[in-house]
Chains A and B, each alone.
Chain A
Amino acid sequence: MSPEDWRKQKRDITVMISLGLLIVMAFVLSMNTGFIRLSPLDTLRTLFGGGTAKEELILFDFRLPRIVISVLIGAGLAVSGCIMQGISRNALADPGILGINAGAGLVVLLFVAIYPTTEAAPVFMLPILAWIGAGLTAALIFSLSYKRHKGLLPTRLLLTGIAVAAGISAATIVLTLRISPEKYQFVATWMAGSIWGTNWNFVLALLPFIAVLLPFVFCKARMMNVLNLGEANAIALGARVSREQIVLLMAAVGLAGSCVAVSGGIGFVGLIGPHVARRLVGPKHQVLLPTSALTGSLMVIVADMLGRLILQPSEIPVGIIVAIIGAPYFLYLLARPSS
């Protein structure tokens, strides 16, 4: 290993460790903030079992699951976006813009509209349903933007994605008007991108997907580097391009779908997480993928915390905060001469 590589590796590790530390800090801060404030000392005391019953209830039953979910969906969405940007070789791809979130959301919404209550049994069903919705949407978009001999056409992918997203939101509007006002409030909050599943069941429902898919994708990092060279080069290097693309895409869809089931339509994390990560560590997927996961988690924790802080006592859904920060960043990326 040349000294330069060595320096680069050291830098990457520093970046990841500092991101990790930032997440821990945000984690602790986030535990303190909310309608009822707990001081850092109280939080620590409660964490180690010395708190009052009320403090324990707030921390263990409300805040902690929510923060853990923020970390998970942030990582899931950002890695999903990173895969999509890699496969389509388009820096502006993301599950939200491509309409995959919307597809997952529509299926979940259908279920909520039909199912009598919004709680109880369906928790474990939701990620699977969202999976199905996301998968169908992705299949539709990719079949429309795939051309034989040329592979995926990145431009067409984006345009198709935007159109499909518009169609799905039209269907969603039809559906939301049919449901009762109580369900509507729930669905509207959910669609705006709110972490609504604030109990451990949701963590358990989401965790297997993240825990299986993230390591799997990390193992595929080398393959993604190869795919990034373009279809022809990748084939020349002996990669089975179509198969790898489909496998990776399924992983991306799985991640996005299961995250959307608990968090609703949080857009832009999948776009901005990987972008910031690429600025920090460069384009090699071995480091880019884990760094994306970290930046995504950090973004969602901070956005969720801000959402609870800004308009107390009511909450702003994370998705809205992320869009308000994310959309200008997206526009900035678009306006940059090089992109």
Chain B
Amino acid sequence: MSNLDHGKFTRVTTLFHSLLGLDVFLLFFTGYAIMFNDELWWMLTLMGGASGVTAIHRITGIGLVALVVFWITLQIISPTGRSNFSKILPSKGDVDAFIQDIQFVLGRADERHPSARQFAGYKADEVPLLSYIGKGVVFIFSIELTLLAISGLLIWSKTGLAAMFQTKAAAMAFVTFHGLLGVIMLMGVMFHIFEHGMHPAFYPVETKAFIPRSMVPEHHGDDDEEPDTTGIERLSLSPSWRTVSTVFGAMTVIGIVSVLIGSIFDEGYPVPRELAIGGGPSSILLTIGINLGMVVLGVGLVLSMYGNVLRIRWEQQLEAEREPSTAADGGEPQTDGGQPKSDDNEN
């Protein structure tokens, strides 16, 4: 019996995740149109040049502050938030999961560690709320978003910053700090998109973050029977998976490497007075690579929207099935509340 490890999020979390994703993507597109302005000149131009881009960046930045503060407050004041906190603390199981993941890749383990499973042959309760990667994402993204919001606000009020640190160079150091910190997050988000988009069982997007747990019917058929396997052998691979995952994986790697190299070069105050194509130490390869990285982000944006479409579709199907007059037609396996969900692989 297979069981999908989705529906771990609450409705508030899924909505928050989508809003945060949208906001952060806009911040990335504008922020890196500024930082990598010689490689992403077209993006800078499309968004109205330096002034247009910085305006959008600030509006979305304020949105980020609202979202971050909302989330921190919610985690503190609600019992759910406080109880979830203990579940995201790193544990020995996470180290074991990392080691077993490597062994799995090398063929020395048959399965991924339960703490690393996104597709698991266990009841939802038996699989941890978050994998070790998920915990890392929560911690790293939380710290980075907070630091980015603070440094961003300091940069915004740069006369205040200059007064605080006495020199213009100090103010510029904050800009550099802000941009380089963002690069770490940019690379992490590319990985995040790859990880949740290219899992063969969930391709093209894992719905965990879009379909809230309250909407996921759980299997009650044979509770006594413990699953022997993950059940993945029952799933059919999507015909396009091998090609798409290979192309997208390559794009992810190229994108990460390129923004990493680009960030090493672009260390100064990144906004020139005049738009200068090739004004920095750019090269054709770096330009292509950084643009590929932006395509990876674009795919992430599309997948995020697609995840929301799937939720709406799921809601409609659930509603239809709950109409007493509607006979269960067995048409869509996802809505088979009482059926094993071994076939939910597509989503």
A and B physically associate:
no
